[in-house]
Amino acid sequence: MAIHPSAVIEEGAQIDPSATVGPFCLVGAQVVLAADVVLKSHVVITGHTVVGEGTVIFPFAVIGEIPQDLKFKGEGEASRLVIGKRNRIREHVTMNSGTEGGGGLTSVGDDGLFMAGCHIAHDAIVGNNVIVVNNAAVAGHCVIEDDVIIGGLSGIHQWVRVGRGAIIGAVTMVTNDVIPYGLVQAPRGHLDGLNLVGLKRRGVARGDITALRAAFQMLAQGEGTFHDRAERLGAETESAYVREIVDFVLADTGRHFLTPK
C-alpha cells in the first residue's frame, strides 16, 4: 500500500494493499478503496463510498460528499455512493451520495470517463462506458444508461432517463427522456436523429442501422401520438435494437420524451 505521509486516512477506512493514496488526500472512515485504485493528490473521498478496482481519481475531485439537496437530513448509512471499476475521474469532479427519498444510492458503473469539473448528483444511476465531458452536470435521480456521451457544458434535468448509446451535444439542456441511440443537441435539447457514428464505432450491423433509421422516421413522421407510434413500431419490428427503443418509450415512468423535430 502506497500512502503519502501527508494524506489523512480516518480510522475505519478500508484500503486495499495495492491502492495508492497521493499527497494531501482525505479518505473518510467509511470509505472502501478496492485493488489498484489511485488517488492522485488533493482528493477528498468521504461518506459511505465504495471505489471499484482500477479506478483513478485526479486532483481536487470531491467524491461521496452529502447531496446538494435541501431535503437531505443526514441520512447516515442510508446515503451511499458506489463507483465501479476502471473509471477515470478527472480534476474537480463531484459525485454525491444518495438521499433516503431517492433510494439512498448513487451508482456509477464501469469504464467511465468523467472529465474535469463535471457533476454526478444524488441518486443518479450511471451505466458502463459513459463519458461525461467537461463541466457537464447530471442532476438528481437521473438514469444514464450504458455507452452514453454527454457533451461539455450540458445539463441533464432531474429524473431524466438517457437511453443506451445516446449522445448529447455540447451546451445542451435536456429536460425530457432521450431514446436509446438518440442524438440530442441545441440549447433546449432537440432530438435531431440517431447517434450513427457511435453505432458504427460499436460495429452494429448495417441491417440494424437501417432498421433504426426507418424506426426513427416512423417515430418522427407517423400518425398519432409519439406513444401510439412506438406501440405500432413494436408490433412491426424484428430488430432487437428497435425493440430496445420501443421498450424504453413504453416503460411506465410518467416521464415525457424528447420527440423528433
**Catalytic residue flag (residue 247):** no
CB 138 within 8 A of CB 121: yes
Which entry of 140, 152, 165, 182 is annotated as an active-site residue?
Answer: 140
The closest of 257, 252, 204, 214 to 236, measured between CA atoms, is: 214
Which entry of 22, 52, 111, 123 is annotated as an active-site residue?
Answer: 123
CB 245 within 8 A of CB 234: no
Strand partners, 89: 57, 114
Greatest alpha-carbon span in the chain? 67
**Catalytic residue flag (residue 122):** yes
At 169, list the grid cell: 451535444
What is the distance between the alpha carbons of residues 86 and 64, in angstroms, rounded to a whole number?
17
Amino acid at 71: K
CB 184 within 8 A of CB 164: no
What is the distance between the alpha carbons of residues 186 and 199, in angstroms, rounded to a whole number?
21
**Catalytic residue flag (residue 190):** no
Q: What is the dihedral of CA 129, 131, 137, 140, to 10 degrees?
A: -10
| Helix ranges, 126-195 (H) | none
Which entry of 48, 122, 141, 163 is annotated as an active-site residue?
Answer: 122
Which residues are the active-site residues?
Answer: 122-123, 140
